[in-house]
């Protein structure tokens, strides 16, 4: 059986491919565990300075493998939903949110259920013209998970978040761009080359600066303005301590291109 998660590091970029195309890359427990392992490696390996996540075949990810959820993989014994969320989706979502390196999602096709909310956890989300997003949960009586109840109202406002999650309709790639849910749309042929080029660029830039920027932006979601100014003071001090800041300053003053090392 092929590995359900493929990962490869090149030019500072770890490309993680969700690889169960015959099941539209829906996630079962072994796949979620392998995905989490790959993300932990990406987080801990200093050689990885950007992460690019995409799906094999015609889908990005159709969310939870519903055959597994129904117990079909385990002699009719369905795993407790709480354990699927606690052991798979919550750790994946937490890790991605806290990961202080840029994460690019290249959404090649349908992203449904947990797969849709996984895609929205990217820092830069690029979509193919063939991509679509579907808050499919309600069709089987569930609620959005993988952080969707947190990200969606913040990204599109409460009214649209309710419409998307109550109706569970397919949102096209074009609609996702228009709503500001994703960064950019590419033709299916250009998606991966464009995402890879962008990932390689980001992998040569100040990695710590990205991480601290991400931390500051996320903190703003719950802070008052004054609290956020304090966060900026603290994190700017940390950024100012990096080797990349010294390099950027020196390069500017000496009219040369900087060589950032991510330290
Ligand atoms: O216990 C818990 O569930 C807790 C965790 C919850 C997290 C969640 O993610 S809940 C939401 C789970 N996902 C869904 O409800 C989406 C289900 N899939 C669909 O609605 C449709 O497949 C799509 C809209 C994504 C795509 O439709 P379409 O017409 O392009 O493809 P299809 O024919 O429906 O699917 C193709 C194959 O993939 C098919 O298998 P087959 O018949 O060719 O052998 C289908 O069964 C399989 N597939 C698609 N999604 C899943 C799946 N198999 C297992 N699990 C899936 N989620």
62, 24 Cβ separation under 8 angstroms: yes
Residue 73's pLDDT band (cuts 50, 70, 90): confident
From ligand 1's centre to the CA of 155, what distance in Å?
A: 25
Dump pLDDT digits (tens) for 114-143: 999 999 999 999 999 999 999 999 999 999
Atom 19 in ligand 1: residue holding the nearest Cα: 62
* Distance from the Cα of residue 117 to its chain's centroid: 8
Q: Report pTM.
A: 0.97
With a Cβ cut-off of 6 Å, ligand 1 is lined by 23-24, 26, 62-67, 69, 81, 84-85, 110, 112-114, 134, 136-137, 139-140, 142, 145
Q: Counting every residue, how long is the chain?
A: 263
Region 85-99 average pLDDT: 97
User: Which of 66, 84, 92 gets mutated to test ligand 1 (max ligand atoms within 8 A of its CB)?
Assistant: 66
From ligand 1's centre to the CA of 26, what distance in Å?
A: 7
From ligand 1's centre to the CA of 259, what distance in Å?
A: 45
The three-state (H, E, C) secondary structure of 201-248, written as one string: HHCCCCHHHHHHHHHHHHHCCCCCHHHHHHHHHHHHHHHHCCHHHHHH
Quick check: helix, strand or coil at residue 53? Answer: strand
In this predicted structure, the answer to whether residue 75 has a pLDDT above a threshold of 90 is: no
Atom 6 in ligand 1: residue holding the nearest Cα: 64
């Amino acid at each position: 059986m092929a590995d359900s998660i493929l990962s490869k590091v090149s030019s500072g970029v770890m490309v993680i491919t969700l690889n169960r195309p015959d099941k539209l890359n829906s996630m079962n427990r072994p796949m979620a565990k392998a995905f989490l392992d790959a993300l932990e490696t990406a987080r801990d390996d200093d050689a990885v300075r950007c992460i690019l996540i995409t799906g094999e075949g015609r889908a990005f990810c159709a969310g939870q493998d519903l055959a597994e959820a129904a117990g079909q993989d385990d002699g009719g014994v369905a795993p407790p939903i709480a354990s699927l969320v606690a052991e798979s989706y919550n750790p994946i979502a937490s890790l991605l949110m806290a990961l202080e390196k840029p994460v690019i999602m290249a959404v090649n096709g349908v992203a449904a259920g947990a797969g849709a909310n996984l895609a929205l956890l990217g820092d830069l989300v690029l979509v193919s013209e063939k991509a679509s997003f579907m808050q499919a949960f309600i069709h089987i009586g569930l609620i959005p998970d993988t952080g969707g109840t947190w990200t969606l109202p913040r990204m599109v406002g409460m009214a649209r978040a309710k419409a998307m999650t109550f109706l569970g309709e397919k949102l096209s790639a074009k609609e996702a761009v228009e709503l500001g849910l994703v960064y950019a749309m590419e033709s299916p042929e250009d998606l991966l080359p464009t995402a890879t080029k962008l990932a390689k660029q980001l992998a040569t830039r100040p990695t710590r600066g990205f991480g601290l920027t991400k931390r500051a932006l996320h903190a703003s979601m719950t802070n008052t303005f004054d609290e956020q100014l304090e966060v900026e003071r603290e994190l700017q001090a940390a950024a100012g301590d990096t080797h990349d800041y010294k390099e950027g300053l020196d390069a500017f003053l000496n009219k040369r291109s900087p060589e950032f090392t991510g330290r």
